[in-house]
Amino acid sequence: MKVITPLWELQQEAVDFSVGKHQVALFMHMGTGKTLTAFSLMERWNSKKVLIICPKTVGGIWKEQLKQHTIDFGSVVLVTDGTKNKRLKKLDENPDIVIINYESAWRKEIYKQLRALKFDTIVVDESHRIKGGKAKSSKAIGLLKSNNRIIMTGTFTPNSRLDIFGQFRFLNPDVFGKSEYYFKNRY
């Protein structure tokens, strides 16, 4: 992937700060360019296989933004609509970039296929939706494997400190540990 849109100063600062890191949190206000910053990180990491988990309503926007801001990104599938079999068939194409909504990402057969695809980079958009450790989607997303991880949101802590735990357990479990019980009692 090659980013063709120049970065704003704050986006470049975020990318420069992330040099040498493989787990990045982009907690930036709406409209400040989190998506373009994420593309720049993917380019820097030379990501070939990317999974983007996002709300269903913005899946198409991710695809449009890829076309607008990058070139040479390979095949892209949007796995947000249709029957389970149609979504599975899209994953069978072994795409370079998969854009999937939260609700689909943790469903049994789809989740199994996502785990088999072996992504270089996983991006979780609106990461505040990864709730504490008990939510099925949070557990499933946390178990996906990749070399690089990006969480991004403009709403860092919408409800409770446990929402922070869910985000960082995905990003890097070493930050707060893997036990929600321990985190809850300590913080």
Residue 1 lies in a domain: no
Q: Judge whether 4 lies within some domain.
A: no
Q: Print the domain residue range for 167.
A: 22-186
Distance of CA 62 to the CA centre of its chain: 11
Whether residue 33 is contained in a domain is answered as: yes
In contact, 53 and 125? CB cutoff 8 Å: yes
Angstrom CA distances, 22 to 96, 97, 120, 146, 178, stand at 19, 18, 10, 10, 19
pLDDT in tens, 122-171: 999 999 888 766 677 778 888 899 999 999 999 876 677 777 888 888 88
When divided into structural domains, the chain yields a total of 1
The tens digit of pLDDT for each residue in 106-126 reads: 888 999 999 999 999 999 999
Indicate whether 36 belongs to any domain: yes
Distance (Å, whole) CA 47 – CA 7: 19
Q: Which residue did the predictor score with more confidence, 20 or 157?
A: 20
Lowest-confidence region among 78-87, 146-155, 167-176:
167-176
First to last CA, the chain: 40
Strands 23-27 and 148-153: parallel
> Directed axis angle between helix 34-45 and helix 59-69, to 10°?
60
Task: Dump the DSSP string for 88-148.
Answer: HHHHHT--SEEEEEHHHHTSHHHHHHHHHH--SEEEEETGGGS-STTSHHHHHHHH---SE
Task: Calculate helix-pair angle for 161-171, 136-143, nearest 10 degrees.
Answer: 20
Q: Are 36 and 7 in contact (CB under 8 A)?
A: yes
Model confidence pLDDT, tens digit, residues 56-73:
999 999 999 999 999 998
Strand partners, 97: 50, 76
Task: Say which residues have a Cβ less than 8 Å from residue 134's Cβ, sequence separation at least 6.
Answer: 180
Residue 181 lies in a domain: yes
Which strand (E) or helix (H) includes residue 2?
Answer: strand 2-3
What CATH number is given to the structural domain containing 137?
3.40.50.10810
Instruction: Answer yes or no: is 12 within a domain.
Output: no
Tell me the helix, strand and coil percentages in the chain, rounded to 5. Answer: 45, 20, 35
Amino acid at 54: C
Residue 10 lies in a domain: no
The confidence score (pLDDT) of residue 175 equals 81
In the prediction, which pLDDT does 133 show?
Answer: 63
pTM (2 d.p.): 0.93
Taking residues 1-21, what's their average pLDDT? 96
Q: Is residue 5 part of a domain?
A: no
